Chains A and B, each alone.
Chain A
């Protein structure tokens, strides 16, 4: 009987010990945890860089300010968010069957970044960045309207005996948020 009473008392004591700290030795505070999910960033090739008809032996230049012929890439995303732009530019344009290729050159002023989405022919310094190096584009932002455009020109250099036909080469634009 004594042992039973003692055991019972022990259990009670243990129970008290288990509940005691919960009542006297802890506290709970709630603080907010927040995060903002940005609008998804997208890049689209809206228009190809089109040199048109080329004559053998005669180089042809197309500026980034040609409404119908400049390359146009459209980037959409979170307004005013910082973005990185990187272009992967071809060194040659090739015939579809690969039987001939023609050098293509991009100068240090062949690109413009337009955050106000005007047009290639009207973009100025106040609309973003002009006369920029497409091999090393500046850190940019998504325009306040949620769109930024990249305009690109270049130059083809056909040889005197350049094989006739339609030439093309891929231009790849990679865009990403900077977090700023």
Chain B
């Protein structure tokens, strides 16, 4: 009986030993980590034509120019994510037309007929070099333009060249500005 008891005690101790050794292994065999996917959606970029390039009354045979800092210059207002880089592209007409298309009049844009105002002032006469880009080529606008905190404006001038027998009437043409984020 003593031997059986001893054997029982030995077996019990062995089982206890195995049990004790198993517990730590199962506690450290698994782990979980939580990370994230993240993205920032920028404010949608928008552009509005807020003022037309208005040559006013022109005389037959007399070219008429409007500078980009003239109160009659065209104004395009660009809005979107502040400090985001944008690409600007102007599609400029070569002629203006009567509404019935019965006559057309050439229009010219020189290499200094545009200015880009990053203060969003919407004030062509108040434009200065420190506010963005002044007197730049509207056919090849700068590439490092960003959206100012109050928006960015593009001012456009040009020259119309009526012929001596230019038909009287109201002439018009579209000036198209395309704006897109460039990721900068």
Contact = CB atoms under 8 A, between A and B. Distances in A.
Interface of A: 18-19, 21-22, 25-26, 33, 35, 37-38, 40-56, 60, 71, 73, 75, 90, 93, 102, 104, 154, 156, 158, 161-177
A26 B25 contact: no
B34 interface: yes
Interface residues of B, number: 33
Contacts of B165: none
B40 A54 contact: yes
A167 B40 contact: yes
Contact of B34 (A56, A164, A172): A172
B32 interface: yes
A165 B37 contact: no
Nearest to A154: B37
Contact of B2 (A18, A40, A43): A18
A49 B33 contact: no
Query: In terms of DSSP, what is the predominant structure of the interface of chain B?
Result: mixed
Interface of B: 1-3, 7, 14, 17-18, 21-22, 24-25, 28-45, 81, 84, 181, 183
Contact of A167 (B2, B25, B41, B84): B41
A33 B41 contact: no
Query: In terms of DSSP, what is the predominant structure of the interface of chain A?
Result: strand
Contact of A49 (B18, B21, B35, B40): B35
Contacts of A177: 29-30
Given A37-B24, A170-B34, 15 more contacts: A35-B22, A41-B29, A43-B33, A46-B35, A49-B37, A50-B37, A51-B39, A53-B181, A53-B183, A71-B37, A166-B38, A169-B36, A170-B35, A173-B34, A175-B30
